[in-house]
A = this chain, B = another copy of it.
Amino acid sequence: MTTMKVLSLPKVYQLLEPGPVVLLTTASGGCSNVMTLSWHMMVEFAPPLVACIVSSADYSFTALRATKECVIAIPALELAPKVVEVGNCSGRNVDKFTKFGLTPIPAHEVAAPLVAECFANLECKVVDTRLVNKFNLFVLEVVKAWIDPEQKAPKTIHHQGYGRFVVDGETITLDSKMP
């Protein structure tokens, strides 16, 4: 974790806009938990706002709603088997950090931990809950962001359903006027 560097908040969207599978950590009552999440999107560039769906059936839901804090951790391809295993079980029954050998590291602004093995970690606070009851939709503000420059050109994974993931391939650059 000594290699984690702070990332400028206006650059956060470049991590989430491509739609990677991510991990989401929470902390409640002295226990940390981690879940797998694909349903998220950017909402605003700066301050970076992110929306995500955390089902009320997920064990993390209660902690997220109560503490209004979480970390979005972005894993590279090498972590894909662990990411799937994290998604296959519930924090109700197991300490997933221990079971899957993921390393929780204290965050700066939230109680939820960073995940040392991920190439980026975004400390988030819940800023809107109006769509939680109906859609399980939380709006988050990223208040601190970390990137691990030791993980060079990480490839992310994108879920296509039923355990099938498409991995980042080539990159192309076109003359866009968009940030």
Could you list which residues of chain A lie within 8 angstroms of chain B, going by C-beta atoms? 11, 13-14, 17-20, 36, 38-44, 49, 51-53, 80-81, 84, 87-88, 128, 130-131, 134-137, 139, 155, 157-179
Q: Do B176 and A88 have beta carbons less than 8 Å apart?
A: yes
- Would A17 and B43 count as touching, CB distance under 8 A? no
Q: How many chain copies does the complex carry? A: 2
CB <8 Å contact, B178 and A162 = yes
Does A41 lie within 8 Å of B18, measured CB to CB?
Answer: no
Smallest beta-carbon distance A22→chain B, Å: 11
Known: A170-B167, A172-B167, A173-B163. A158 touches B18 (CB 8 A): yes
Chain B residue at minimal CB-CB distance from A49 = B135
A80–B131 touching, CB < 8 Å: no
Q: Contact between B157 and A172 (Cβ–Cβ < 8 Å)?
A: yes
Most buried by B among A14, A20, A41, A157: A41
Are A162 and B176 in contact (CB-based, < 8 A)?
yes
What is the minimal beta-carbon distance from A49 to any residue of chain B, in angstroms?
Answer: 7
Q: Which B residue's beta carbon lies closest to that of A177?
A: B88
Inter-chain contact A20/B19, CB cutoff 8 Å: yes
Contact between B135 and A128, CB atoms less than 8 A apart:
yes
Which of B128, B164, B177 touches A173 (beta carbons < 8 Å)? B164
Supply 27 A–B pairs (Cβ within 8 Å), ascending by A. Answer: A17-B159, A18-B19, A18-B166, A19-B19, A19-B20, A36-B178, A39-B41, A39-B42, A41-B51, A41-B53, A42-B53, A44-B53, A80-B172, A88-B175, A88-B178, A128-B131, A128-B134, A130-B131, A137-B139, A163-B176, A164-B171, A165-B174, A166-B168, A166-B171, A167-B169, A167-B170, A169-B169
Q: A168: which B residues are within 8 A, CB to CB? A: 158, 166, 169
